Structure 1
Amino acid sequence: MIYTCTLNTAIDMFIEMEDFLPDKVNRSIYDEFQPNGKGVNISIILKKLGVPSTAIGYIAGFSGHYIQDELNQMNIDTDFTEVDGVTRINAFVKSNQGEYKIVNGGPEITDVKIDELITKIAGFTKDDVLFVSGSLPKGVNPSILVSIAKHASDIGFRLILDISHPILSELVHYRPYLIKPNDEELQALFPEEELDSEQAILRAAQKLVDQGCQNILVSLGGEGAYFVNKDTMLYCPAPKGEVVNTACSGDTMLATFYSTLQTSSPEAALKKAVAAGSSTAFRSGLTDFEDVDQLMQNLKVQVVTI
């Protein structure tokens, strides 16, 4: 079974209006609500690719139930841990004055609920896969990630990490199956080095492989992505297009890469993942994959070396 863990789930509310003025009633001309959180996005993308998963993590209150209900309506299984409070609702407001992003903190997680989630993960088997993605909620120490990584190592299930916390440097020794840092996150792991060239990025990724990571997908946003493991180093540029939404493109890339890698070569997986991530970036919501084949046509995966 594939599990996706979102520790800090959210509803994203997108609002568009002509004007956004203080001390006035500003009426929207468009609004949309989406269940969100990086692991939630991965479950949705996997579903679009025909791959079942179960979404776990924390939800709270009416907004948490909305996320659960929306996923269930998509025929995505859920096994969330419910906590007190209200799952955060983030607002993205766009008007002729510009775009405003309001990101809230969410509920505080108690030690009892932390233990409850860890116990759930401790019950996984060696045949399971766990994506852990996104930020930590209030009350959760980054040591939870060490506990999860240790269980993955002891049990033998595949652990896939997409986290920006610097504790990632301590997790590589537990041999995660796949990590997906972007260029800034990779730089944070090597603060004394200037990762300002392809060679520097590849050397940093290779160091992480030497330290224990089995596979590394380095996202460069509009510049594409690298894939590095002990056998190969690959680069795929991103297709050109008008960027609308960068927030979910990395989740799309990661889910598509893992899913495709199970039945295809790393070259094919990287190419499709970059195209799918770009497809999400070129629209307001997650890709429907209708344009992915077209976006792939002009992409060429290159073998690169240090």
Structure 2
Amino acid sequence: MIFTVTFNPSLDYVVGLSSFREGEVNRSEWEHIYPGGKGINVSMVLKNLDIRNIALGFVGGFTGKEIERRIKDFGCYTDFVKLKSGNSRINVKIKAGKESEINGQGPGIGKKELSQLFKKLEFIETGDMLVLAGSIPAALPEDTYENIMRLLENRGVKIVVDATGELLLRVVKYQPFLIKPNNHELGDMFGVTLTSRDDIITYGKRLQEMGAKNVLVSMAGEGALLVAEDESIHEMKPPEGVVKNSVGAGDSMVAGFIAGYLKNQDLREAFVMGVATGSASAFSETLATREEVLKLLNKIEENK
């Protein structure tokens, strides 16, 4: 079974208008509401790819109920910890030529509620996979990811971490199966500017030396690069297409990699599936569907 964890889920309220005038009344031309959060995005794309999974995390108040309802209506399984006070956050995304975001803070999470999540994680077994995605809310200890990975250490659980900066550097010693920084985040972690493919490979390998098994580096329109645990290096160009939505593309890449790996445990095949899935979400107004991914699979080119 695959489990995803989203500590701070959201309702994403997306509004579109031709122009935005600061300080004046603006009227939307269209609007959508989606459940949001990196782990939730992974869960929903996995569902689109016919991969069964369970979304874990925390939800609170009327917004939390709506998040869970929408995820379940989408066809995903959930096992959230219900917070007794506070409301899950609402993120406002304004698309008016440029894209602007106002992200809510989210509710407080107490020690008792955090321990409830850990009790759920106790049931993860050998052969399962866990996806830890996104930042840790200020209400939780900074070492929460480390504590989770320590709990599951030596159980034969493949852990995927999609986080950035110091948070990611602190957990690589627990040998995550996959980490996914982008090229800018990778450089920032080591205080350098990456200007070439060789630079990305060098610092991807540095993360491997620190414990990570597979390092997947996304590079936006330049594609992605995989430094794999079998010592192979793969770089893929993205297929041609019009980018309509950047939200969730990285999460979709993670979901695609997982789906591709589960098929034959082949890292290159997983990588191709990841690039295709991330691209499919970028080319869509919503998260990638299976049909959209399959259309792009044969259009992925490997850089030699």
Q: TM-score, normalised by structure 2?
A: 0.92
CA contact (8 A) 2:136 2:144 kept: no
What is the match of residue 300 of structure 1?
301
Matched pairs, number: 301
CA offset digits 1:117-166 (Å, max 9, x no partner): 12322332223211010122231122101101112214331111001241
Matched, 1:17 2:17: yes
What does residue 86 of structure 1 align with? Answer: 87
Q: CA deviation at 1:19?
A: 4.5
Greater shift in the superposed pair: 251-260 or 153-162: 153-162
Deviations 1:182-225 (A, max 9, x none): 1122113212x442211111011112222221211111111111
**Do structure 1's residue 266 and structure 2's residue 270 form an aligned pair?**
no
8 Å CA contact retained: 1:126, 1:156:
yes
- How far off its partner does 1:174 sit? 0.9
Distance between the aligned counterparts of 1:19 and 1:171, measured in 2?
A: 43
After TM superposition, give the deviation of residue 70 of structure 1 in Å: 1.1
Measure the CA separation in 1 of the matches of 2:19 and 2:193.
43
Task: Check whether the contact 2:256–2:276 (CA below 8 A) recurs between aligned residues.
Answer: no
State the shift of 1:23 in Å.
5.8
Tell whether the 8 Å contact from 1:206 to 1:229 is kept in structure 2 after alignment.
no
SS state at 1:285 partner: coil
Question: For residues 188 and 151 of structure 1, what CA distance do their matches in structure 2 show?
Answer: 29
Q: How is 1:251-262 mapped onto 2 (pairs within 5 angstroms)?
A: 251-262=251-262
Deviation at 1:284, TM superposition (A): 2.0
Within a 5 Å distance, the mapping from 1:45-84 to structure 2 comes to 45-83=45-83, 84=85
Query: 1:30: which partner in 2?
Result: 30
Mapped partners of 2:110, 2:165: distance in 1: 20
Segment drifting more, 112-121 vs 36-45: 112-121
Extract unaligned runs of 5+ from structure 1.
none
Deviation at 1:39, TM superposition (A): 0.5
CA distance 1:18–1:122, change in 2 (3 Å): same
Q: 1:22, 1:49 → 2: CA distance?
A: 41
Counterpart for residue 221 of structure 1: 220
Q: Which moved more, 1:75-84 or 1:239-248?
A: 239-248
- Matched with 2:201 is 202
Compute the RMSD of aligned alpha carbons. 1.8
Q: 2-side partners of 1:120 and 1:177: how far apart? A: 21
**Tell me, which stretches of 5 or more residues in structure 2 are unaligned?**
none
* Residue 171 of structure 2 is aligned to residue 188 of structure 1: no
% identical equivalent positions: 32
- The whole-number CA distance in structure 1 between the counterparts of 2:172 and 2:4 is 19
* Partner SS, residue 290 of structure 2: coil
| Contact preservation (8 Å) 2:180, 2:217 | yes
When the two structures are superposed, what TM-score results if normalisation uses the length of structure 1? 0.92
Kindly provide the amino acid, as one letter, of the partner of residue 272 in structure 2: K
CA apart distance, 1:167 = 2.5
Name which of structure 1's ranges 203-212 and 57-66 shifts more when overlaid on structure 2. 203-212
Residue pair 1:182, 1:220 contacting (<8 A) in 2 also: yes
Partner of 2:284: 283
Spell out the pairing of 1:238-257 with structure 2 (5 A cutoff): 238-257=238-257
AA paired with 2:122? A
Do the aligned partners of residues 298 and 150 (structure 1) sit closer, same or farther apart at CA in structure 2, a change above 3 Å counting?
same
Helix, strand or coil for the counterpart of 1:68? helix
What is the distance in 2 between the residues matched to 1:27 and 1:125? 50
Q: Provide the rounded CA distance (Å) in 1 between the counterparts of 2:50 and 2:290.
A: 12
Q: Are 1:60 and 1:86, in contact at CA under 8 Å, matched by a contact in 2?
A: yes
Higher mean alpha-carbon deviation, 292-301 vs 247-256, is at 292-301
Change in CA separation of 1:95 and 1:111 when aligned onto 2, cut-off 3 Å:
same
Q: Is 1:3 matched with 2:3?
A: yes
Secondary structure at the residue paired with 1:166? Answer: helix
Q: Equivalent residue for 2:211?
A: 212
Q: Is the 8 A contact 2:39 2:134 kept in 1?
A: yes
